[in-house]
Amino acid sequence: MDNNTTSNATEWPLFNKYNEFPLDHIYTFCVFAYFIPHLIRMMKSKGLAKAHHYHRSLIITHIIVSISEVVLFHVKSWYLGHDPKPNNIDLLICVAQTIPSLVMTERMRFTPKLTLELSRASFHSMAFMRVLASGLAVYLGSTEWHRASVKMLASFVWVRLFIAWSGRFAGINTPQQRYSFGVCGGILMAIYEGSYPHGVGIYLATTFFLMALDRWASKFDNSSVDMLRFVGLVSHRVEKPLKKVN
């Protein structure tokens, strides 16, 4: 067989270099399309921003940058037929997405009936893992780390699904429990989906460290703890001992 009989499928972006149907991209686009109406409602909602004490422009920026990063990755991957090599722009977009995420996580302290310390620590861990993966991706020129970072971002899909399913499991009854279950389950699924190197260990170590820091900081009341509380790494209010009455 001569070289002119090469399949057109290997040259058409609908197929990747392994001559396989790009199920991952189609699945991602379909899932995001399904959640677009929900995301639009979030951007339009004034009550959501008011309840969390942040400006509506923050969540609009967060959603637009997040979707742009995921779409950019999958479009390039679809066209190339393999995961794209990261560049400084990808790292910049990751940082731009992470900053609003950290601010929104800090504002979770205004919704104590919905979130537990575990949820906040998990979100901070995810932000750290995203920046770590994107930084290593650019430094090493690694497509694997780049994919791991983007899949961590797409974990919100799994978070929403786990929250919706949480009512089927025993012991998960309150909004706090359902939300924490969804966040932790979603992050673990994103680690698996993106093949994040040592991802489970990094996630658990970071989350446990942040929760321990939170507990430790609750015993003190100084400028350093105030700074940690300002960026959302500490959520506990300082419990001052009661004064003895003579």
Q: Which tens digits make up the pLDDT trace of 176-228?
A: 888 888 999 999 999 998 999 999 999 999 999 988 988 888 777 777 777 77
Among residues 15, 2, 32, 4, the alpha carbon closest in space to that of 158 is found at 32
Could you state, in order of their start, the residue ranges of all structural domains in the chain?
15-230
Take residue 210 and report the two structure tokens written for it.
């942040």
Residue of 171 and 16 predicted with greater confidence: 171
pLDDT per position as a tens digit, 56-94: 888 888 888 988 998 899 888 888 888 899 999 999 999
The whole-angstrom separation of Cα 81 and Cα 24 is: 12
pLDDT band for 52, please (50, 70, 90 cuts).
low
The whole-angstrom separation of Cα 7 and Cα 41 is: 45
Instruction: Please tell me whether the overall predicted TM-score, pTM, comes out greater than 0.85 for this model.
Output: no
| Coil, helix or strand at residue 237 | coil
Measure Cα distances from 173 to 56, 93, 184, 220 in Å. 30, 37, 16, 33
Which residue in this structure is represented by tokens 């497509």?
Answer: 143
pLDDT per position as a tens digit, 114-171: 667 888 889 899 999 999 999 999 999 999 999 999 999 888 888 888 888 887 888 8
Which residue in this structure is represented by tokens 């506990």?
Answer: 236
The whole-angstrom separation of Cα 146 and Cα 89 is: 12
The whole-angstrom distance between residue 161's C-alpha and the CA centroid of its chain comes to 14
H-helix segments, 9-55: 23-44, 46-52
Query: What is the structure's pLDDT at 55?
Result: 74
Among residues 47, 69, 59, the alpha carbon closest in space to that of 101 is found at 59
